[in-house]
Structure 1
Protein backbone atom coordinates (compact mmCIF):
# COMPACT_ATOMS: atom_id res chain seq x y z
CA UNK A 1 0.00 0.00 0.00
CA UNK A 2 1.29 3.45 -0.90
CA UNK A 3 2.21 5.91 1.84
CA UNK A 4 -0.61 8.28 0.83
CA UNK A 5 -3.17 5.48 0.78
CA UNK A 6 -2.18 3.97 4.13
CA UNK A 7 -2.07 7.16 6.19
CA UNK A 8 -5.14 8.67 4.55
CA UNK A 9 -7.12 5.45 4.84
CA UNK A 10 -6.38 5.23 8.56
CA UNK A 11 -7.66 8.78 9.06
CA UNK A 12 -10.81 8.42 6.99
CA UNK A 13 -11.65 4.94 8.17
CA UNK A 14 -11.08 4.98 11.90
CA UNK A 15 -10.85 8.54 13.13
CA UNK A 16 -13.18 10.46 10.84
CA UNK A 17 -12.90 14.03 9.63
CA UNK A 18 -15.63 15.92 11.49
CA UNK A 19 -13.36 17.61 13.99
CA UNK A 20 -14.16 21.22 13.10
CA UNK A 21 -17.38 22.95 12.01
CA UNK A 22 -18.51 22.22 8.48
CA UNK A 23 -18.19 25.88 7.50
CA UNK A 24 -14.49 25.97 8.41
CA UNK A 25 -13.15 25.89 4.88
CA UNK A 26 -9.41 25.70 4.29
CA UNK A 27 -8.03 28.98 2.93
CA UNK A 28 -5.72 29.29 -0.02
CA UNK A 29 -2.03 29.36 0.93
CA UNK A 30 -1.45 32.66 2.72
CA UNK A 31 0.93 35.10 1.04
CA UNK A 32 0.41 38.05 3.35
CA UNK A 33 -1.94 39.42 5.98
CA UNK A 34 -3.60 41.53 3.27
CA UNK A 35 -4.76 38.72 0.98
CA UNK A 36 -7.74 37.58 3.05
CA UNK A 37 -10.65 36.26 0.99
CA UNK A 38 -13.87 35.45 2.89
CA UNK A 39 -15.33 31.98 2.58
CA UNK A 40 -18.72 31.72 0.84
CA UNK A 41 -21.83 32.11 2.96
CA UNK A 42 -20.24 34.06 5.82
CA UNK A 43 -22.14 36.88 7.52
CA UNK A 44 -20.65 40.35 7.85
CA UNK A 45 -19.81 39.71 11.51
CA UNK A 46 -18.21 36.37 10.69
CA UNK A 47 -16.18 37.96 7.89
CA UNK A 48 -15.00 40.70 10.26
CA UNK A 49 -13.96 38.14 12.88
CA UNK A 50 -12.31 35.83 10.34
CA UNK A 51 -10.31 38.74 8.89
CA UNK A 52 -9.11 39.73 12.37
CA UNK A 53 -7.99 36.16 13.06
CA UNK A 54 -6.31 35.96 9.65
CA UNK A 55 -4.21 39.01 10.50
CA UNK A 56 -2.93 37.43 13.72
CA UNK A 57 0.03 35.02 13.93
CA UNK A 58 0.11 31.99 16.20
CA UNK A 59 2.81 29.63 14.94
CA UNK A 60 6.37 30.91 14.52
CA UNK A 61 8.31 30.10 11.34
CA UNK A 62 9.88 26.92 12.72
CA UNK A 63 6.56 25.61 14.05
CA UNK A 64 4.75 26.29 10.76
CA UNK A 65 7.51 24.62 8.72
CA UNK A 66 7.48 21.59 11.02
CA UNK A 67 3.72 21.38 10.75
CA UNK A 68 3.96 21.60 6.96
CA UNK A 69 6.37 18.64 6.86
CA UNK A 70 4.01 16.55 8.97
CA UNK A 71 0.95 17.56 6.93
CA UNK A 72 2.73 16.62 3.71
CA UNK A 73 3.58 13.19 5.10
CA UNK A 74 -0.13 12.68 5.78
CA UNK A 75 -1.21 14.03 2.37
CA UNK A 76 1.79 13.97 0.02
CA UNK A 77 1.74 15.01 -3.60
CA UNK A 78 0.94 12.29 -6.08
CA UNK A 79 -0.05 11.93 -9.73
CA UNK A 80 -3.61 13.00 -8.92
CA UNK A 81 -3.22 16.08 -6.73
CA UNK A 82 -0.86 18.33 -4.80
CA UNK A 83 0.18 17.89 -1.20
CA UNK A 84 -1.33 19.38 1.95
CA UNK A 85 0.79 22.51 1.70
CA UNK A 86 -0.31 23.07 -1.91
CA UNK A 87 -3.89 23.06 -0.61
CA UNK A 88 -3.12 25.58 2.16
CA UNK A 89 -3.57 23.14 5.02
CA UNK A 90 -0.89 24.55 7.38
CA UNK A 91 -2.57 27.96 7.16
CA UNK A 92 -5.92 26.29 7.80
CA UNK A 93 -4.55 24.62 10.94
CA UNK A 94 -3.12 27.91 12.16
CA UNK A 95 -6.51 29.55 11.60
CA UNK A 96 -8.22 26.77 13.57
CA UNK A 97 -5.72 27.23 16.41
CA UNK A 98 -6.63 30.92 16.57
CA UNK A 99 -10.35 30.31 16.11
CA UNK A 100 -10.48 27.45 18.64
CA UNK A 101 -7.85 28.11 21.34
CA UNK A 102 -8.27 24.62 22.81
CA UNK A 103 -6.03 23.41 19.97
CA UNK A 104 -3.18 25.76 20.79
CA UNK A 105 -1.53 23.87 23.66
CA UNK A 106 -1.85 20.40 22.06
CA UNK A 107 -0.42 21.65 18.76
CA UNK A 108 2.42 23.76 20.14
CA UNK A 109 3.26 21.19 22.80
CA UNK A 110 3.11 18.42 20.21
CA UNK A 111 5.58 20.18 17.93
CA UNK A 112 7.98 20.57 20.87
CA UNK A 113 7.55 16.88 21.72
CA UNK A 114 8.23 15.92 18.12
CA UNK A 115 11.43 17.96 18.03
CA UNK A 116 12.61 16.55 21.36
CA UNK A 117 11.93 13.01 20.18
CA UNK A 118 13.78 13.66 16.93
CA UNK A 119 16.71 15.11 18.89
CA UNK A 120 16.77 12.00 21.04
CA UNK A 121 16.88 9.67 18.04
CA UNK A 122 18.95 11.64 15.53
CA UNK A 123 20.25 14.79 17.27
CA UNK A 124 18.27 16.93 14.85
CA UNK A 125 14.93 18.71 14.83
CA UNK A 126 12.15 16.89 12.98
CA UNK A 127 12.10 19.16 9.93
CA UNK A 128 15.87 18.69 9.47
CA UNK A 129 15.64 14.90 9.27
CA UNK A 130 15.77 12.98 6.02
CA UNK A 131 12.48 11.97 4.41
CA UNK A 132 13.10 8.38 5.49
CA UNK A 133 13.69 9.37 9.11
CA UNK A 134 10.63 11.63 9.18
CA UNK A 135 8.42 8.90 7.76
CA UNK A 136 9.77 6.35 10.26
CA UNK A 137 8.79 8.60 13.17
CA UNK A 138 5.38 9.32 11.64
CA UNK A 139 4.70 5.61 11.29
CA UNK A 140 5.50 5.10 14.98
CA UNK A 141 2.79 7.64 15.80
CA UNK A 142 0.20 6.82 13.14
CA UNK A 143 -1.06 3.52 14.55
CA UNK A 144 -2.23 3.94 18.19
CA UNK A 145 -2.84 0.24 18.73
CA UNK A 146 0.80 -0.54 17.91
CA UNK A 147 2.43 2.45 19.62
CA UNK A 148 4.58 2.11 22.73
CA UNK A 149 3.88 4.08 25.94
CA UNK A 150 7.03 6.10 25.26
CA UNK A 151 5.34 7.88 22.34
CA UNK A 152 1.80 8.22 23.74
CA UNK A 153 2.00 12.03 23.74
CA UNK A 154 3.21 11.98 20.16
CA UNK A 155 0.39 9.63 19.16
CA UNK A 156 -2.20 12.06 20.51
CA UNK A 157 -0.51 14.96 18.72
CA UNK A 158 -0.25 13.09 15.43
CA UNK A 159 -3.92 12.09 15.61
CA UNK A 160 -4.93 15.72 16.07
CA UNK A 161 -2.77 16.91 13.19
CA UNK A 162 -3.99 14.09 10.97
CA UNK A 163 -7.65 14.92 11.60
CA UNK A 164 -7.07 18.61 10.98
CA UNK A 165 -5.02 17.90 7.87
CA UNK A 166 -7.68 15.68 6.34
CA UNK A 167 -10.43 18.12 7.28
CA UNK A 168 -8.48 21.00 5.79
CA UNK A 169 -7.48 19.18 2.61
CA UNK A 170 -10.94 17.85 1.87
CA UNK A 171 -12.62 21.23 2.23
CA UNK A 172 -10.65 22.62 -0.72
CA UNK A 173 -11.24 22.29 -4.44
CA UNK A 174 -8.09 20.17 -4.63
CA UNK A 175 -9.54 17.82 -2.03
CA UNK A 176 -12.92 17.66 -3.78
CA UNK A 177 -11.15 16.81 -7.04
CA UNK A 178 -9.05 14.18 -5.26
CA UNK A 179 -12.24 12.47 -4.09
CA UNK A 180 -13.84 13.02 -7.52
CA UNK A 181 -16.70 14.69 -5.67
CA UNK A 182 -19.04 16.39 -8.15
CA UNK A 183 -21.52 17.95 -5.74
CA UNK A 184 -24.98 18.97 -6.90
CA UNK A 185 -24.47 18.67 -10.65
CA UNK A 186 -27.44 18.33 -13.01
CA UNK A 187 -28.14 14.92 -14.52
CA UNK A 188 -29.28 14.30 -18.09
CA UNK A 189 -32.83 12.92 -18.25
CA UNK A 190 -34.24 11.68 -21.54
CA UNK A 191 -37.71 10.84 -20.35
CA UNK A 192 -39.60 7.95 -18.79
CA UNK A 193 -38.19 4.55 -19.85
CA UNK A 194 -40.14 2.90 -22.63
CA UNK A 195 -40.92 -0.23 -20.60
CA UNK A 196 -42.59 1.92 -17.92
CA UNK A 197 -44.64 3.77 -20.55
CA UNK A 198 -45.71 0.46 -22.10
CA UNK A 199 -46.70 -0.98 -18.71
CA UNK A 200 -49.12 1.87 -17.98
CA UNK A 201 -50.39 2.34 -21.53
CA UNK A 202 -48.83 5.71 -22.22
CA UNK A 203 -46.96 7.03 -25.19
CA UNK A 204 -44.36 9.73 -24.65
CA UNK A 205 -44.91 13.21 -26.02
CA UNK A 206 -42.35 16.00 -25.46
CA UNK A 207 -45.06 18.31 -24.11
CA UNK A 208 -47.37 15.96 -22.25
CA UNK A 209 -48.27 12.32 -21.64
CA UNK A 210 -51.22 10.96 -23.61
CA UNK A 211 -53.12 7.90 -22.40
CA UNK A 212 -54.29 5.27 -24.87
CA UNK A 213 -57.57 4.96 -23.00
Structure 2
Protein backbone atom coordinates (compact mmCIF):
# COMPACT_ATOMS: atom_id res chain seq x y z
CA UNK A 1 0.00 0.00 0.00
CA UNK A 2 1.52 3.33 -1.04
CA UNK A 3 1.89 6.25 1.36
CA UNK A 4 -0.61 8.45 -0.52
CA UNK A 5 -3.28 5.74 -0.55
CA UNK A 6 -2.67 5.01 3.11
CA UNK A 7 -3.08 8.69 4.05
CA UNK A 8 -6.43 8.83 2.24
CA UNK A 9 -7.42 5.64 4.01
CA UNK A 10 -6.59 7.22 7.37
CA UNK A 11 -8.72 10.27 6.55
CA UNK A 12 -11.62 8.09 5.45
CA UNK A 13 -11.73 6.50 8.92
CA UNK A 14 -13.11 9.76 10.30
CA UNK A 15 -16.36 9.51 8.30
CA UNK A 16 -18.12 7.70 11.13
CA UNK A 17 -16.00 8.71 14.13
CA UNK A 18 -14.63 12.18 14.83
CA UNK A 19 -12.00 10.95 17.29
CA UNK A 20 -9.96 7.75 16.96
CA UNK A 21 -7.28 6.18 19.13
CA UNK A 22 -3.93 5.07 17.77
CA UNK A 23 -4.88 1.42 18.23
CA UNK A 24 -8.17 1.94 16.35
CA UNK A 25 -6.34 3.47 13.39
CA UNK A 26 -3.61 0.81 13.44
CA UNK A 27 -6.19 -2.00 13.49
CA UNK A 28 -8.31 -0.45 10.71
CA UNK A 29 -5.28 0.03 8.45
CA UNK A 30 -3.76 -3.36 9.20
CA UNK A 31 -0.30 -1.80 9.36
CA UNK A 32 2.55 -2.15 11.86
CA UNK A 33 2.63 0.44 14.63
CA UNK A 34 5.74 2.15 13.27
CA UNK A 35 4.23 2.66 9.81
CA UNK A 36 0.94 3.87 11.32
CA UNK A 37 2.86 6.38 13.44
CA UNK A 38 4.72 7.68 10.38
CA UNK A 39 1.46 8.18 8.47
CA UNK A 40 -0.13 10.05 11.36
CA UNK A 41 2.99 12.19 11.81
CA UNK A 42 2.85 13.11 8.11
CA UNK A 43 -0.84 14.08 8.35
CA UNK A 44 -0.18 16.14 11.47
CA UNK A 45 2.65 17.94 9.68
CA UNK A 46 0.28 18.66 6.77
CA UNK A 47 -2.25 20.01 9.30
CA UNK A 48 -4.88 17.52 8.22
CA UNK A 49 -4.99 15.68 11.56
CA UNK A 50 -4.51 16.88 15.13
CA UNK A 51 -3.49 14.87 18.19
CA UNK A 52 -5.11 15.52 21.57
CA UNK A 53 -5.27 13.65 24.86
CA UNK A 54 -8.48 12.01 23.60
CA UNK A 55 -6.89 10.70 20.40
CA UNK A 56 -6.63 11.76 16.78
CA UNK A 57 -9.15 13.95 14.97
CA UNK A 58 -9.43 15.85 11.70
CA UNK A 59 -8.11 19.40 11.67
CA UNK A 60 -10.84 21.98 12.29
CA UNK A 61 -10.58 23.54 8.83
CA UNK A 62 -11.32 20.14 7.27
CA UNK A 63 -14.43 19.50 9.32
CA UNK A 64 -17.88 20.47 8.15
CA UNK A 65 -20.93 20.49 10.38
CA UNK A 66 -22.02 16.86 10.16
CA UNK A 67 -25.48 17.85 11.42
CA UNK A 68 -26.06 19.82 8.23
CA UNK A 69 -27.42 17.91 5.25
CA UNK A 70 -28.12 19.55 1.90
CA UNK A 71 -31.11 18.71 -0.28
CA UNK A 72 -30.43 18.27 -3.98
CA UNK A 73 -32.70 17.77 -6.96
CA UNK A 74 -31.34 15.33 -9.55
CA UNK A 75 -33.12 15.27 -12.89
CA UNK A 76 -33.68 11.89 -14.54
CA UNK A 77 -34.71 12.67 -18.11
CA UNK A 78 -34.60 10.22 -21.00
CA UNK A 79 -35.36 10.46 -24.70
CA UNK A 80 -36.73 6.89 -24.68
CA UNK A 81 -33.30 5.25 -24.97
CA UNK A 82 -30.69 7.63 -23.51
CA UNK A 83 -30.38 9.60 -20.27
CA UNK A 84 -29.40 13.28 -20.07
CA UNK A 85 -26.10 13.96 -18.28
CA UNK A 86 -24.13 17.10 -17.47
CA UNK A 87 -20.36 17.38 -17.12
CA UNK A 88 -19.23 18.37 -13.62
CA UNK A 89 -17.21 21.59 -13.47
CA UNK A 90 -16.04 21.29 -9.85
CA UNK A 91 -14.49 18.75 -7.52
CA UNK A 92 -15.10 16.07 -6.50
CA UNK A 93 -15.32 14.04 -9.72
CA UNK A 94 -14.47 17.09 -11.80
CA UNK A 95 -15.10 16.55 -15.54
CA UNK A 96 -17.04 13.36 -14.92
CA UNK A 97 -20.71 13.27 -15.89
CA UNK A 98 -23.72 13.45 -13.59
CA UNK A 99 -27.47 13.84 -13.72
CA UNK A 100 -28.35 17.56 -13.95
CA UNK A 101 -28.42 18.72 -10.32
CA UNK A 102 -29.63 21.78 -8.43
CA UNK A 103 -30.46 22.81 -4.87
CA UNK A 104 -34.00 22.62 -3.54
CA UNK A 105 -35.01 26.16 -2.63
CA UNK A 106 -37.25 27.29 0.20
CA UNK A 107 -39.77 29.19 -1.92
CA UNK A 108 -40.37 26.64 -4.69
CA UNK A 109 -41.95 23.21 -4.87
CA UNK A 110 -39.93 20.19 -5.94
CA UNK A 111 -41.77 20.13 -9.27
CA UNK A 112 -41.13 23.81 -10.00
CA UNK A 113 -37.45 23.59 -9.05
CA UNK A 114 -36.92 20.55 -11.29
CA UNK A 115 -38.68 21.83 -14.41
CA UNK A 116 -37.28 25.37 -14.15
CA UNK A 117 -33.72 24.10 -13.75
CA UNK A 118 -34.04 21.85 -16.79
CA UNK A 119 -35.36 24.69 -18.93
CA UNK A 120 -32.68 27.08 -17.68
CA UNK A 121 -29.71 24.84 -18.52
CA UNK A 122 -31.04 23.14 -21.67
CA UNK A 123 -34.01 25.10 -23.02
CA UNK A 124 -35.97 21.83 -23.00
CA UNK A 125 -39.60 21.60 -21.93
CA UNK A 126 -40.55 18.61 -19.78
CA UNK A 127 -43.38 17.37 -17.60
CA UNK A 128 -42.70 16.45 -13.99
CA UNK A 129 -43.62 12.78 -13.47
CA UNK A 130 -42.61 12.29 -9.85
CA UNK A 131 -39.82 11.37 -7.47
CA UNK A 132 -38.41 7.97 -8.32
CA UNK A 133 -36.27 7.54 -5.21
CA UNK A 134 -34.41 9.33 -2.45
CA UNK A 135 -30.66 8.77 -2.12
CA UNK A 136 -28.76 9.76 1.04
CA UNK A 137 -25.22 10.47 -0.14
CA UNK A 138 -22.22 10.77 2.20
CA UNK A 139 -18.97 11.83 0.63
CA UNK A 140 -15.43 12.21 1.88
CA UNK A 141 -13.19 14.07 -0.55
CA UNK A 142 -9.44 13.59 -0.74
CA UNK A 143 -9.15 16.77 1.33
CA UNK A 144 -11.25 15.00 3.99
CA UNK A 145 -14.08 17.51 3.68
CA UNK A 146 -17.36 15.83 4.54
CA UNK A 147 -20.51 16.29 2.51
CA UNK A 148 -23.93 14.81 3.06
CA UNK A 149 -26.80 15.29 0.64
CA UNK A 150 -30.35 14.06 0.37
CA UNK A 151 -30.83 13.59 -3.38
CA UNK A 152 -34.39 13.64 -4.69
CA UNK A 153 -34.33 11.84 -8.03
CA UNK A 154 -37.02 13.49 -10.15
CA UNK A 155 -38.39 11.74 -13.22
CA UNK A 156 -39.17 14.05 -16.13
CA UNK A 157 -40.71 13.42 -19.55
CA UNK A 158 -39.97 15.54 -22.62
CA UNK A 159 -42.97 17.58 -23.69
CA UNK A 160 -41.37 19.78 -26.33
CA UNK A 161 -39.24 19.18 -29.39
CA UNK A 162 -35.61 18.16 -28.72
CA UNK A 163 -32.88 20.46 -29.99
CA UNK A 164 -29.12 20.80 -29.93
CA UNK A 165 -27.91 20.78 -26.33
CA UNK A 166 -25.51 23.39 -24.92
CA UNK A 167 -21.87 22.45 -24.36
CA UNK A 168 -21.40 20.22 -21.33
CA UNK A 169 -24.71 18.39 -21.75
CA UNK A 170 -25.28 15.20 -23.73
CA UNK A 171 -27.36 12.04 -24.04
CA UNK A 172 -25.83 8.73 -22.96
CA UNK A 173 -27.08 5.18 -23.33
CA UNK A 174 -27.06 3.02 -20.17
CA UNK A 175 -24.23 0.98 -21.70
CA UNK A 176 -22.09 4.11 -22.06
CA UNK A 177 -22.48 5.00 -18.37
CA UNK A 178 -19.36 3.48 -16.84
CA UNK A 179 -17.48 3.95 -13.58
CA UNK A 180 -14.78 6.21 -15.04
CA UNK A 181 -17.26 8.31 -17.00
CA UNK A 182 -20.08 8.97 -14.52
CA UNK A 183 -19.82 10.13 -10.88
CA UNK A 184 -20.47 7.23 -8.44
CA UNK A 185 -23.80 8.38 -6.95
CA UNK A 186 -25.25 9.20 -10.35
CA UNK A 187 -24.06 5.92 -11.82
CA UNK A 188 -25.80 4.06 -8.99
CA UNK A 189 -29.02 6.00 -9.63
CA UNK A 190 -28.93 5.24 -13.36
CA UNK A 191 -28.35 1.55 -12.70
CA UNK A 192 -31.04 1.21 -10.02
CA UNK A 193 -33.89 3.47 -11.17
CA UNK A 194 -36.78 1.10 -11.89
CA UNK A 195 -39.52 3.46 -13.04
CA UNK A 196 -41.41 3.72 -9.75
CA UNK A 197 -42.78 6.84 -8.12
CA UNK A 198 -42.34 7.34 -4.38
CA UNK A 199 -44.99 8.77 -2.09
CA UNK A 200 -44.29 12.44 -1.36
CA UNK A 201 -45.98 14.55 1.32
CA UNK A 202 -45.71 18.34 1.39
CA UNK A 203 -46.80 19.88 4.69
CA UNK A 204 -47.43 23.58 5.30
CA UNK A 205 -47.53 24.48 8.99
CA UNK A 206 -48.10 27.82 10.72
CA UNK A 207 -45.32 28.89 13.06
CA UNK A 208 -47.62 30.37 15.73
CA UNK A 209 -49.72 27.36 16.69
CA UNK A 210 -48.20 24.58 14.57
CA UNK A 211 -51.49 24.12 12.73
CA UNK A 212 -51.37 22.06 9.57
CA UNK A 213 -52.66 24.36 6.82
CA UNK A 214 -52.35 22.13 3.79
CA UNK A 215 -51.09 18.71 2.81
CA UNK A 216 -50.49 17.32 -0.65
CA UNK A 217 -49.59 13.72 -1.35
CA UNK A 218 -48.34 11.91 -4.41
CA UNK A 219 -49.09 8.17 -4.14
CA UNK A 220 -46.53 5.55 -5.02
CA UNK A 221 -47.22 4.11 -8.44
CA UNK A 222 -45.58 2.93 -11.62
CA UNK A 223 -44.19 5.63 -13.89
CA UNK A 224 -45.19 5.09 -17.50
CA UNK A 225 -42.86 6.96 -19.81
Structure-2-length-normalised TM-score: 0.22
Higher relative contact order (CA 8 A, sep 6+): 1
* Structure with the larger strand share: 2
Which has more radius of gyration?
1
With normalisation by structure 1, the TM-score equals 0.23
